[in-house]
Structure 1
């Protein structure tokens, strides 16, 4: 018989219990607005063997959206300052800071895409709503990088965003009702991509208007559980349509469109 230590061995935490604990930590982090902690918890959940449930999927999206959203806001502020500053020393200082924020945005977005490709989209048991959700996320995060880059790099990430959005859009149009909130959220963000990144207001309006009109026709088929989400996104679509239609003659891109805050 082997000799054993007297030290107590901590019992193993069941897999399901560990997963539930990580989700609860993510929820606490969200309440505390500690989104970096929320990301770390939800990444661990996403990397487990079983696919994400709808609640977990949304928590992951909210976590990353807030982490990158803070940087996007900071980038816009500093970019405005750089554009207005005339003193050379301050221009150099602000430009260097803008470059730092740009690098952070790029790193976060690449992290999201890698997680989606290796742990989420790689599964062969995904329902159409999950697959569309993740491909939309890829499009969003490629778009966020394209927002802050220039020239060839901007074009490259724009092409990646377009490919992800397009694949998701083709899938959801054939498999999901027009009033489904995931399909509507995709149309909303895809139209924003065309307007802001590709500067194609006509295509942006076409995507937004088509999505809105088709959803209106299908509202009677919408489950009560998703009615609120769908109508909220439809309102954002309508707001963008109004904004872009009024803005069309001048082609002024100073007023960005609304996008879905959380998938």
Structure 2
């Protein structure tokens, strides 16, 4: 079994090589080892950030792919071979994305959230849980989607309340919570958007995601 130090070194190399799945495997194993050796899965702030980076890039590439595939699927005529191929690929990528989100959520619920020892880790993990539930909501519908959205809102609320209580307004993690919570609310109301407003919705979502990226970078530098 690799040591925590060795896994961290490997993860850093995988990050530079942009091998996100390998990086995620290292970080997942690190969480499990920390939990087994210390009974509680405490990660340092740098390690939390590395865990987030690995899974965010893995899931992010699938989210981007799904947007493109969905666009192709919608443009093609019903019954066409291209549309059928796009549908098959969409379902394949959705399955991959769901498995990744489920893996992150299991790490959070089983190891990380029960181990919180300060406001920073509480806010970070609850925000992360809200994020991956939000990603799951993007690829589900009906009652399942409603349940996921409720759970995501609960996690974002916990992160927001803790951030407001214990962090200054300019804290990067607090800013990221505010941005992601806002994006969550905006996305959950998009079903009432008319076709004429779709471009404005896409532009606003892009702006918020760019702000989110900036906040994440500031948090890593803090």
- Short-chain TM bin: 0.7 to 0.9
Q: TM-score, length-normalised on structure 2? A: 0.83
Please, what is the CA RMSD of the aligned residues? 2.2
> What are structure 2's unaligned runs of at least 5 residues?
none
In the other structure, the counterpart of 1:235 is none
1:116 to 108, 111, 117: 108
**1:100 CA displacement:** 1.2
Higher Cα Rg, which structure: 1
Matched, 1:179 2:179: no
**1:151 CA displacement:** 2.9
2:5 to 2, 17, 20: 20
In the other structure, the counterpart of 2:14 is 29
Q: TM-score, length-normalised on structure 1? A: 0.71
SS at match of 2:201: coil
1:57 to 48, 60, 78: 48
Q: Deviations over 1:157-186 (max 9, x none)?
A: 211111110111111111111111111000
Looking at structure 2, the residues matched to 126 and 159 of structure 1 have their Cα atoms a distance apart, in angstroms, of 25
How many residue pairs align between the two structures?
200
Looking at structure 2, the residues matched to 126 and 80 of structure 1 have their Cα atoms a distance apart, in angstroms, of 44
SS at match of 1:126: coil
In the other structure, the counterpart of 1:253 is 201
> What are structure 1's unaligned runs of at least 5 residues?
1-11, 202-248
Q: Deviations over 1:25-71 (max 9, x none)?
A: 00000111111000010111112135100111100000000111111
Matches within 5 A, 1:120-199: 120-123=112-115, 126-199=117-190
Looking at structure 1, the residues matched to 184 and 43 of structure 2 have their Cα atoms a distance apart, in angstroms, of 27
SS at match of 2:114: coil
